[in-house]
Amino acid sequence: MKQQCDQLLRHVAVICLLLLSSLAAQPQSVVIHHIDVGQGDATFIVARDGAGNISRTVLIDGGLKRCGQTIINYLTGTLHITHINAVIASHYDNDHVGGLAVILTNAVGIVIDSVFDRGDILFPHPAKGAAYRTAAIAYGNRRATLIPGKSLVLFYDNTGGTHTIQLSCLCVNGSVYNPNGNFNAVSTIANPDENDLSTGFLLTYGKFRYLTCGDIGGKHGQQAGTCAGTYGCNFADLETNVIGQSGPVSAYKINHHGSRCSTNAAWVSGAKAAVAIISSGRNGTYKHPRPEVIALLQTDPDMQAYYMTSEQDYYQRLGNKGVLNNPHQPAIDLSVQKETNHVDITTTCNFSVGAQVYTIN
């Protein structure tokens, strides 16, 4: 894994989930870029309408502070982005919002409409993400606090069909909500760690469903209560409730970079996903992803492949389902497109990574 994020433009490792609808008249799409920021997270989502024009863009997290300007350069130089509709902070750990502070204050050439985060609820002491919060507060009434059940529509299907692209908040500040209209909390926690306060989203587009949930945890195996790990983690089990509310998905970003306290058995078996993405890099302290997580992915009968944003298996943990990023390719494209028989994406569709094809039924 590259240690300096200023190498990202030259050697960027982005996992792109490219989804094209199967309606010939409306081939709208959504692309999810999982940007390689080393030990951290940065996800950029681009939705397009039937004419190929950008409909909405969303940036979730921005890695460490040193990654901020590099992400700006990548967005403007490689993707030619000049407008971000929503910047979202999943939670306030520096490997998620350090770069966002730079982006919010120094994104020359990019217009940012709105900033969304978990607000100042249950803010820990000493405060985390102070630089980010200062930058976000400067946006005034363009900064909003996320609540479970809130949805961001990235593309609206005005034909009356079911091809609207939507990003729905499933959890924030330790509460998990049912996305199907019942917005009563099914889980709340007291004295949470910052990771427990992470915002989780379900992206839906026809048959395609994708989860990204920051650093929420869920412990492992038969361990009772919270996960008390080597590094003092004491996290609540939010994963079991989140996956219970979302149900099966097509793909997901591994929670908390694949830490020993995340991606539990209930999550993996309930998701029934074909693909997972792990955003992590070389870090001698945490050594993500942990072998407990890899073991669950390897034995999951639904999981066909898990993709690393890094180009090296630094800790020699990946099994035969693990796929490292190719350092010579700027992106890994995961695409969904119409079939020759015009099967609707709401009924069935295929998505592929390179020559490998996965089917959503």
Each domain of the chain, given as residue ranges in start order, spans: 5-360
Long-range contacts of 243-248 (CB under 8 A, 24+ apart): 243/211, 243/267, 243/270, 243/271, 244/186, 244/270, 245/170, 245/176, 245/177, 245/178, 245/179, 245/186, 246/170, 246/179, 246/202, 246/209, 246/211, 246/271, 248/209, 248/272, 248/273
Q: Residue 89 above 90 pLDDT?
A: yes
Interatomic CA distance for residues 323 and 308, integer angstroms: 6
Q: Residue 340 above 70 pLDDT?
A: no
List pLDDT tens digits, range 271-300. 999 999 999 877 667 778 988 899 999 999
User: How much of the chain, in percent, has pLDDT values that exceed 90?
Assistant: 40
Measured from the Cβ of residue 76, the count of other Cβ atoms closer than 10 Å reads: 15
Q: Residue 157 above 50 pLDDT?
A: yes
Task: Determine the average pLDDT of the residues in 33-49.
Answer: 88
Q: Residue 142 above 80 pLDDT?
A: yes
Q: Residue 227 above 50 pLDDT?
A: yes
Q: Give pTM, 2 decimals.
A: 0.87
Task: Determine the average pLDDT of the residues in 77-87.
Answer: 94
pLDDT band at 188, cuts 50/70/90? low
* CATH 3.60.15.10 corresponds to the domain 5-360: yes
The pLDDT, as a whole number, for residue 36 is 87
pLDDT band at 184, cuts 50/70/90? low
List pLDDT tens digits, range 258-269. 988 899 999 999
